[in-house]
Each structure stands twice: as structure tokens, then as C-alpha cells.
Structure 1
Amino acid sequence: MKKETHLLQVILRIFLFFLSINSINIVVISDSIPYTPKDNYLIDCGSSSPAASNIHDGKTFISDQQSPYLFTKKEIQISVPTATTNATADVPSPIYLTARIFVEESTYIFQMTRPGWHWIRLHFFPINNTDFNLTHSVFSVETNEVVLLHSFFISNNTKSIMKEYLLNISTEELSIKFFPMRESFAFINAIEVVSAPDSLISDVGSSLVPISYFSGLSSYSFQTMYRLNMGGAKITPANDTLGRFWDSDLPFLRTRALAKLISVSSSIITYTEGISPLIAPSLVYSTATQMADIRLRNPNFNVTWNFQIDPAFNYLIRLHFCDIVSKSLNELYFNVYINGKMAISALDLSSIASGLDIPYYKDIVVNSSSLFEKLKIQIGPLKQNTGLVNAILNGLEILKMSNSVGSLDGEFGVDGSTKPSSMVNHGTVTAFGFATMFGAFVGLGAMVIKWHKRPQNWDSTNNGFPSWLLPLQPGHSTIMNNSKTCIGSNKGGNGNIYSSSGLGRRFSFSELQEATKNFNQKAVIGVGGFGNVYLGFVDNGTKVAVKRGNQQSEQGINEFQTEIQMLSKLRHRHLVSLMGYCDEKSEMILVYEYMSNGPLRDHLYGMNLPPLSWKQRLEICIGAARGLHYLHTGAAQGIIHRDVKSTNILLDENLIAKMSDFGLSKTAPTMEQTHVSTAVKGSFGYLDPEYFRRQQLTDKSDVYSFGVVLLEVLCARPAIDPALPREQVNLAEWAMQWKRKGLLEKIIDTHLVGVINPESLKQFADAAEKCLAEYGTDRLPMGEVLWNLEFALQLQEASLQGKKEEENRAAAVAVAGTGPAVVVPTGYGNANEDSEPAQVHAIAIEEHSGTAMFARQLREINGR
């Protein structure tokens, strides 16, 4: 009975917490967001009447005789109308009742109102006529800069074909040219040239091999190969603001018995500022394909979709997600694979989207070297799952990317030439394939030799990662546990212990010398125990942070190896991404994404930077907590960071917090273990005293360190400051003394005095205190710490909203006293409504065992 009561209290806490989020924090964007294209050409080609128009998929197509769109070389043009005026069983739509046929090069020219992304849709259907057999036509289609079709033909006359492209047009005119092949002809039934939103394609995505950022997407042209509504029926252009088709995914499922379709009301899908309904309609996000309910004790299978593609091109894969299956946050974690490679590891939708029923999408570029005529998309559960054993996918788009000569079909560019170095590229791919095979065979040989060494016998001093899994190569000495040992003896730099392990890009030492101007001291942006961190520029000017190991440092090969091993398998918005490494010439260099705003500590004290607002500090703490929560529960086997501190929380250009420096990290204990026995490592002032005494590491050690960070954020001073009086040296001890006196506000950062809502401060301070409990069993898990911080943010924002409403009411009274009565709307509804704003309340939850999410009875936020 006691357990049931506790469970009900936990459920109630979660429900009320999400209720408070939904009523305060989420900025909802309407699903019916309108979009009016600046350019909207819908051309019914070959119509004999200038005034003719036809309706297709809710769009009105007008005759190409109404405007001077068409320009032909010798004015040779032939219209082929059918005898009927309506669509029949033989003709799928009115726009296919006519066609325009070209026996020589001909061009449509469209004036562009504004530059940017545009849809180009070409409609083909070989209608029967007495003059031309359209199934015998062979032709090419090009724009000013892009080859759309090369030697295109239609082999049957029973099905219409629509080719859809997305081009970033920068010219004032768009030309679409038709080139009949020798002794053949070209034809077209209808053309669409329609503006698309600028936000539809971001310039940055991710690459699959190696896993890293991919920039420059806006410089490519795209062809839609597949666009699927997972778990739902076909969506027609009438139900998509941008006039797109979304097909059912059923024909592409490899094994339907492993998949289950799920749907909810589209009205519950909540768009926020992070994603526009123009990306995909709510009908896509309200359905999903998930793992089937197969009666297995430990279900461990993938749901798989197969697609035919042209392996000569790269592809942009857009994956659409929306958690419509979970009942609460942080229940659902799963993996996504593309052609057998990990594309997204331990995806936690509720953390990324900050809630349930909130859309999220991910763009991943797949290089042609990873393709073999088939593209395989898979979703599956974590091997060790802490929540629902499930995986979902709501929508999928597969877009072919233009090649180096600007073609979406074949190797010829608009000038008829091919890239001179194309053969070199093929050779590079071949060499890469040979090197990969060789590395795989060598690695396999090492594994066969050590096959008998079971996981339980792996060297526990090597951070839980067996060195024998790393392929041994000629010229390398055995990897030792001595931190002073260099990574290899091959001075020529040809050795690469990680190249065949899929652990990221291997930079050459010369590349990084050039990127950092020979490790110029002026490029140093950070200094740590491992070595200096330099600002570098690689590839096309991409900024990176280059951490070069100091040969005299106490942190050596173990930390270097652990950092690569950890970050190569972790991908999360709040973890710094490892882009690659260098192990040439006894060097140990790591290359990370560049975090332009540096460590959190610099924004709190010592650097004279503008002070952070309380809201900014809360959002940074929440981001860091999400990263740690993902490490503890979202990874396949939990990970303990072991060096949580304000200098290891980095901020990007938008002050998004990301955890960094995983050199001391450890894999978490298994279900059969309670802790990891290991030598004590960490930073003074942040070190868990229980871990220090017992040398037993748990994830609660990270929680303790994070509690110290929370106090740093609140008080804007170091964790240890020997210059202060003895009782003030240790921040955690000093701050908790003031907390127990109820006077914590006396020692907070002076920039926050009078700014923090008292209830927000108390919620934050209570969370810090529970992090700093003497015994790990009394500390909150990171998930509850996260919830406390999010609730503190809700309290602060509600307080600010209440003050704003009071000011509005005061202004209304002032205006009423000096003239005619004026109604000042203060609610969230229509501006014409004369109603009081909805009152926001904080609801009391009874404490239970000292770990309740909400600390005590809270009074109403509106000032009562």
C-alpha cells in the first residue's frame, strides 16, 4: 500500500509539472500557419485555348498561351489535346489531357520576384495521340545552372510521373530548357515553379561518415526521391501548406510484422519556436511507425525500411520525430541507423524537444561512398534501456543532392562537361575502401587472437574499454596504461589506431598545424590539465577547438583514448561534439566543435564579461543537467562524467550549454553492481566527499559536483578560494551554512539581488542542497535535478509575467483617471477580448522521503 501511495504521488507530481510547463513556458505556433509564395507559376502546357485552366490537387493551372513563358529555337511547337475535356480512367488528371512537344531545343523562362528556394515540379504522362508516340521520347531538362534530367524517357503509358526539385535560385530569371536527343523529341504536360520558405533547408546538418557537422547545404540543389508519412495514410497537397505529397511507408517496410502503426489526434501536436509547421504538417507528426508488440522478454530488433537509390550521389536524409507514445519525459530512448551505421545514438526526444507531442527533425547527409544501390533506414531500442523498450519514426524525406558539376541526373553539367578530377575521386573511394578492408582484417585478426578474453576480464583500469578491440597495425607499440606512454612509435605518422574503428575523422598533423598557424600562442583559447586548446580553421573556414596534449602532462594516453571512445558514440545537443583527432608523431590531439562563448566560469567571475541574467543562468544549468542526465540514463551503458565543473560546461553562440572534457569518464556500474571501484580523480572543490573516502564511484558523484556548479552560478565565485577567510574558502560548505540559516540571499551575486523571484530562488537552492547531501543515496538523480531547475525557471517566468500584468493594469487605471475609459487587454487571447488574464498557480505537493520534486506548499504566483 505504501509503495502504491508513493507511485501515485510521483505520477501526480509529473502530471502537475507538465501542466505547469504547458501553461507557462511553451510558445505555441499554429499548425495552420499560412504561406503565400511570392512566385507561383502553375502552367498547363500545350493547351489549345489561351483562357483554359485546369484544377489539379487543389491548384489552378493556367494555359502556357496566356503569358509569354515559352521560347523555342525555331518556333516549332505542337499541342496534343485529347478528344475529352475531363479526366478519364486513361488520364489521371485534367493537366495531363494536353502536352507540349518539342522537336528542337526549347525554353520556358520565368521571372523571379525574389531569390531563394523554389520548387520545380515537372509533370509527365504519355497521352495517346496520332502524331507522336510519347513513350519513344528521349530528352534532357536543364535550368540555368542545374541538370534536372539526362536522357530521360518514359517506358509505360499507364502512370503519370511527377519530378520534384528544390533549387536555391539567385538569378532574376529562371530558364527551364528541354533538349530532345538526336532523332527524338521532348514533351511536358505541366510545370510548377513555386517559392519555398527560406527556413525549409538550413545551411547546416550532420554527416554520417564521419559523424560531424555538414555545412553549405544551401549551395546544393535537391530532388525529392521519397517523402513518407510513417504510420499514416497518404497526404495530398490539399492538406500540406507547401503542396507536397507524403506517401505511406508500408510499401517500404522490410518486415511488416515487426512494425506497428500508431496515431493520435493532430490537434495535440504542439509546434514551438524551434520548428515551423511548414517543415511538415501535423498529420505527419500525429502518426508514427513503432516497434511491434512482440512477446519477447528482451525485445532487441530493428524496424527497417529499404529504398532504391542511385549510389553515385549524396543524399540528404530528413528524419521527422514526435514523441506521441510516452506518458512522461525521459521514458523513450532509441537508436537510428542508416545503412547499418549509427546515425543517432540514444535519441531522447523529450529532452531535445523539451516536452511530449512536440515535433523535431534531424538532417543527415549520407555520402555516396556509404551507398550500394540501396538505402536502409532502421530504428531500434537501446541494448540496455532505462525506459520504454520502443523506437518510433514519424516521417522521412530522402533528397538527392546535386553533384560537383551541378547535376541531379548523370555526370554531365549544364555545359556538357564532367568534373576533370572525377576519376581521381573514384580512385580515392577505391583506396579508402581498400584501406578500410585492410584495417578490418587486421582488427579481426587481433580479435581472433584474443577471442577468449571475455568482457569480465577486460582491464578495468582502462576506463572500461578493452585495448584489444583497437586494431593493431605495423609500426605501433602496444597501448599501455601508463599515462606518459606515447600513442605510437611510428614517427612517419602513418599509424592510426582508430581509423578502422569508426571513431571520427583522423586529421593529419600538418592539417592542424596549418589550422592553428603552427599552434600559435595567440590562438590559445583555453588551458587545462591535458594541454592547451587552440582556435583553428579547417576545410572551408570552419572554426574548431584543437586540444593538444602536453607530453609532460599527468593526463596522457588513457584520457586521450577515453575521450575518443566516449564522444565517438555520444551525440546530444548538450554534449560537445568530437570532430576528430590526430595521433601522428607521438601527438595526442583532439578536435572539437568550436564553442564561441567559452566556459561558463568566464561568464560568472574573473573575466569582466557582461553578467548573465537569472533566466540565462537557469537555462544554462538546465542544458548542462540535460547533458548529464543523458550520460547517466540515455547512453547504451550509463556514463559517469567524473569531472563536472564550470570550466567543463561550454557555451555556444546562443549560450546553449554543452558538457565537455570526457577524459576522466567511466562507464557506469551494471545492474548487478552498485558502484565502480576506482582511484579518485576529479577537481578540488567539486569532488564528492563520499567518493573521496570510499573510492567508490557512482553517478551521484556527478550530482554532487553539479550541486557545486549550481552554487557557483548563484554566488558568482570559485568553488575553492584560498584568499578568503577560512570559513569561506569552500563554497559548498559556506553556502549551505547560509542556506540552513535561511539567509542564502545575503551571499548571492550582487547582479541578481532584487531580480530573482523568492520562490524561484528557494526551488533552485533546495535542488543544490539535495545535490550536496553527504551520502549519495540521499542525493537526487539527475532527472529530478533537471525537473527542479525547470520548475525554478517556470516560477521566475511566471513572476515576470505577473509583474507585467500588474504594470498593464496600473497603466489602465492611470489612463482611466485622465480621460475616457480605456480597456487594456492583458490576457493571452484575442486583443478584442475584455477579460482578466488566466491566473497561474503553483500547486502544492506533499513531500515524501525528502525527494519530492516540489519542496513545499507554494503560494499563488500572482502575488497573493
Structure 2
Amino acid sequence: MEKKNKDVNMKSSYNFFSHFVLFIFFFFPSRSISVTDHNSFTPLVNYLIDCGSPVKTLLNDGRNFKSDRETTSLLSTTEDIVISVDSINITNIFPPSSLPLCQTARVFTEESIYTFYISKIGRIWIRLYFFPFSNPTYNLTNSIFSVHTDHFVLLHEFSPTNNNSVFFKEYLVNVLDARFSLKFKPKKDSLAFINAIEIVSAPDTLISDSATQVFPLGEFKGLMKSALQVSYRINVGGPTITPEVDTLSRTWETDGSYNIFPQGSMSVSVSNKSIKYSQENGVNLTPLIAPNSVYATCVQMKDTEVMQPKFNLSWMVNVEESYSYLIRLHFCDIVSTSLDQLYFNVYINGIEGVEALDLSSQTKALSTAFYMDFVIDSSNITNGSILIQVGPPNLQLSTTNAILNGIEVMKMSNSANSLDGFFSVDGEYIGPNVTSKVMKIIAIVGLALAVIAFLLLAIMYIRWLRRPLDWEESRSLSSWILPLHSRRKKSCNTNLNTSDSPKSKNGGGHFVHYSPRGQEKFFHFSELQRATNNFDDKRVIGEGGFGKVYLGILEDGTNVAIKRGSGGSGQGMNEFITELSMLSKMRHRHLVSLIGYCDENSEMVLIYDYMSNGPFRSHLYGSNFSPLSWQKRLEICIGAARGLHYLHTGASQSIIHRDVKTTNILLDENYVAKVSDFGLSKAIQDKSQVSTAVKGSFGYLDPEYFRSQQLTQKSDIYSFGVVLFEVLCARPVVCPTLPMEQANLADWVLQQYRIGNLHKMIDKNIVDTINHESYKIFSQIGVKCLADHGVDRPSMGDVLWHLEHALQLQIASSHVDIPLIDQSTNEYERNDDNLHGVTSDESANSSSILFSQMVNFQGR
């Protein structure tokens, strides 16, 4: 068929004859294999297009891509811009079969539409290939464009900036009309391009309408309404699977770059011919779900007969936080020798999706394929990742193991029917919370009320500025009626040397009535820029989940610590407000003091007293500081315990810190300990509990809190117990380079304590000076803090009393001849196994079990 370069009639209506031609021309399948054996699929819709190519392109997998130049009725545009390149050199191309499709491209300088005739409505694959090769006329790497279907946004202002990579996008969209359009819309003064397109029907059984909702656990319905984008397709434990051996021309990656605990995993494989497909429980599972090659390989727990199996197999993938995701996990028991041997739990982002999954009850046979679909809501995705884990259940089993054969992760379209941002196909911005006209009306009414309230507050503010000189005597009402961020008119600008500039005794800033208790200062961002030399990296003295901490010097020479929130920290405003509100209400010798804050220009900055000796951890290991004596370590622990005791009991509501660790215990110039970082803190009624998402730092996290998501004061007690042994042993709480049984400090401490060898773990810098009675009291209370159940742990008051007792014994030993620790005996521990909280092996091992559930837990 001969194609004219320009066809002015392309935008005319399609008639029946043109549809018929398209149907005949494109619907001959690239590969035709009988479907009676359920091993392959002949799609009724099968458009394979090599865009801009003058001839057909045959791939190694047998698929035949036709040229879009062979018909004038497929593409609706008055342009005919095609470009090509003689040869390309791409390494690590994905998918591997796409190389021949990358040598030509069709370019659009205006909105253009491909229109396809759909003979069978339902789910279709949309696969798009973009390779921005070099061209002297059209700079493809600078192109910015959007790609829409009739109802869904696939790409919004997409820009393929790397000319050494193929950008492969794969979607599943439910089509309900006989005609389907794919629109390419370049941004103004830019262009769009495409190298190849696949529009292929998918089997009806591939994706059902329902799945298991991860949290709250239940059934999710409505998958058919969502467009899906394939984010990951992983063959766990096996090689790359290319389209020529996949039943639906899919590509499966290896799992090497996603397995975050490879040292605990082992790959297993069997013959593809041994794989069977389940017909149980109303499921007619066929190789169309996944090919034999996926189910014939898996990863299982390594050395389960030798190692203590207290860990999870874990895979992590990066995702966008503002979307929900469909997660399909493939299982096939190719490791057991008989039925009813394999039971394991499945976790998604630390949330238990399945407890004690029994593949035998699902498949009724070994080597039989099975899969499960999960949906995780965007609200349960933090740190831009999804963590998939399988591990042993809390059951007494003769064999302990867990397996996984394959992973598929698919992004679900959002409320704007988009897979890329919140713009609809009409270009209208539809934010996450705008779902109906009713919501828009509510927003307009709310805005009007806000404007009225703002005017009233402005009037009050003006009247406050004009208050009489004796206003301070009658400010009780105004102190709570003023707006949250009220500020004086005059700023602290170094270029203004007038006496009117209100300066604080700490060198700048403006007072703001943040709470009924006194005044917190507001700092202009420009002041903080001057104080930190424009946030020079040389001024960085620390960094955490919220952002970097800088040493700042105020105008009067006062040193301060300035914590600036990072826009990409993933914690942001909630932590900023929490810490500001918490510290504005609390004053204690052993809590870090808040000087002020800044929230100008969307910045989130907190200003504290400068703690010249930095975090406690730096004086224990990993730095060049001189080692602290045992007495000094006890004094610091006591100071931190007093600060935490005040949080738990000294306010109208009990405050749980939720992130107790040695980096959050700061030391001033006199080595006085002050607890810091209240961004995760939670206020509850005294001795009560609250259900909340698990947050904290891996290694310090309370296992009971992790299991139940019920937060209590005892969660801080557990974390402080880990701190105590970090102080005693001077080693990281998690050290992956150590043997597995020693990697987690809390687990290793409990194990060594039970057998009487804990004294052998004492930091060599203090072991010759520590009094054995002081050590004994210290270790006993520390072990009680690590009890698996919160009810078995002491209060912070009890911990404080025992630490003070240990200090008194240590001080007394320096004046009289009291024995030090003898490392040749274990008499100091072997008789203490009846301590409350460690009365059985099961109790002592429980934290190990939770350590397995928290491998690579994403905390602060």
C-alpha cells in the first residue's frame, strides 16, 4: 500500500470501509498458537506498530511490527515527520527485544491521534517505546509532551532526557468502546515523538475486579475501573524472561537489585515441565497469569536447618507515594517433599497481609502455581517504597521456611483518572481531595469564611499594634486570641541599625504567642541564612529524617542549632508542627530547649540551644572522641531517663517520645544529657495506649508496638533498654556485617545474658574500671526493659531509680576496695535467668522473631 506524505483528509470521520481495512490489515496475529492447551493466547486486537519505519520489523520473538506509513487512516495528523538513525549502541536495553524498534521515530509538533478499531472490548495492553536518539533537526531529549487515551492520562508533560536509554511504558486499560484513541500532545514550543506502539487485547482472566486490601485488611473491589501501569515484573530467583518465552509477550526482570536481604536467601529451580496449574477454589489458573518459568524458580530461606530462622525474605521497590498499587505475588511450592510442610506469613510494608499461608490447602498438590493480589492504599506508602516480605509464622513447626516465585507491582490511576499527576484528559487540575462539585462548593464556602476570619484577625492585629504602653498588664486575653504566626512589622535586618528593631536576648527574632505558656520567637529566613552562611554544608553538624542540622551564629554571637526541614524528607509539616507544639509547652533541664522557628517561604526551620558535645552516640563509637568513663556514661543515661520520665509523667498528658536513641540524646558543654527530636512524639492519656502507624528507628523499635500498632509508654522503655546496652557495649544496634545471630544488639544481648556471657560484650575501654555490682544492677534493669511484652517492662521511674543505684555503687567503689568485673567467670549473670520478662526461651526469642519482620524497616 502506498502512503502519501500528507493526507489532508486524515481528520475526516472514519467510515465502515476504513475500519474494515484496519481490521484486516492489523489483526493477523504476530504469533498464533492454539489456546486449547492454555499455554498461549491469540489476541483479537493486535496492533503492533513500528512508528516512522518504511517497512515491517520482525523481532526475534516472532512478533511482526508493521509500519504506520502503510495506511493513512490510522494516524490523524496533517504532518508526516519521520526520523531515523543508521545504527544505535545501547547497553542494558530493556526490554531486550526492543532494539530493532528504536531506529525510527515519528515526530509531532501539534496534537496528533492514533485511532484503533477494537473488535473485543475489555482490557488491552498499551506498550509505548521511546528512544530519544540524536537527530540534527529534532532534539528529542528536549521534548515535553503528554499522552492520553479517551479517558485516562498515561503521561503528563513527559520528557525523556537520557538519549542512552529506552523508555518503555506498559499499561493495562479497560476499553468499553469500539474505537480507541491514543493522543500525543506536545507542550507549547516543544514536540512529541514515539518509536513503537503495541495495542493488544489481554485475557479476561488476567485481572479480576477484586483483591485483598492490605490495611485495613479486607476485600477491595473496583479494579476494573482503574487503569494500571506496570511498574515492576520480577522473576524471583530466576533469570530474565523475554517476550519470546512469555505467554503474553511480557518481560520479567531478575530480583537481584530488589532483594535487600540476599545473605538470608537461596534460589531454587526445577524443570518447567513439572509445573502444574491449579483448578481449585473456583480459580482456573493458566500460564496466561505467568509462564512456567516464573513458577519453576523461587527464593527460599537459606540454611533453615542450620540457622535460627528469625528473619524475613525481603524485596523493596521504589514507587510514587501519591498512588495506590496492585501487588501480585506468585507462589509455587517447589521446595517441599510432601504436602502440609510449608507455612509462612506475607507482609506488605510491614503490615501482615496473610498469616500462615498454606499453599497445600490452596493447590492440593506440590509444584502447582498460585497467586494472590493485594491493594495497598497511597496512605500506607511511606519513604517512596513498597517492602514485600515473606517469613515464618509464630507457630511451632517441624520445618520453617518461606518462598516467593514472582512479583508484579502495578500503579493504579488516581481520582483524576491519571497515572501521571493530577491533570485530567481535558487538562483540568483535579487535586487529591477534589472529587465532586459538592467538594468544590464546600471549598468555595470555606474560602469565603477564611477571608472573613482573616479580615477580623487583621483588625485585631492592627489594634494590637496600637495598644497603650501599659498593655502588657492586661494581655491575658490577647495572648490566646492572637493568630498563630503574628509578627511585628519591623524585621531584624542587619542593614537597619535603628534602635527600634526589636532584638531578643538571643540575638534576633520576633516573639510569637504560640502557646499560653510564654513566648516563642519567630525568625525571618534571611536571619537564618546569615546565621548559617546561607546554609553552608560546612556548617552541618547532623542530619536526620527531617533534614539537616546546622551550626548557626546569631547577631549577638550566640551559637544555636538550626534544623531545616528537607522538602523530600517524607516527614515534613506534621513533624514540624508536632515538635514546635511539644517543646513550646515543656521546659526541663534534660530536654533540649527550643529558641524559635521559621516558616517563611514554605520553609520549616526549628532553632535550638547549641549542644556543643553533640549526640551521645558519637562518644560511644564511630568517632575520634575520647571514650567516656563508666561513671560519666551512667550520669548521661540518668539525665536522659529523667527527661523521658518527665515526658511520661510531668505533663497533663503523657508524652511518648517514639524515637529514643543515642543520636537523639545530646550533650552540652558539661556533658549534661538532653533528649531531642520530638517530631514523632505522641500525647496520650496516662498509661493508656493509642493505635497508630508504626514509626521509629530500626533496632530500637518495640516489637510489641510493631506487631500490634498499639503505642504505649512501654515502647519508649524498650527503646531506652536498647540504648543502655549500646552504652555498655559501645557498638551499633544493628550491624549487618556481623554473623546473623549477632547483627541485632537486643537479640544478642538477651541470648548472651541467658547463658551468662553478657560481661564479655562490655566495651573494652571501661571493662577494667566498672564495678561488678554496678554492672549487675545496670544489666538487670536493661534486660527488663527488653521484655517482649510491655506489661513486663518497668516504668521509667523504676529505670531511673536503678540507674541512680548503679551510679552510687560505682562512685562508692572508687573510694573503697570493691571488686571489678572478672571476665573469666559468668557468675554475675547465670543466676539471673528468673528475671521478670525473660523467664523462657520463647520470651527471649520473641524480639528475634520481630527482628525478622523488621529487616530494613524504613524508619527515621
Provide TM-score, normalisation by structure 1: 0.46
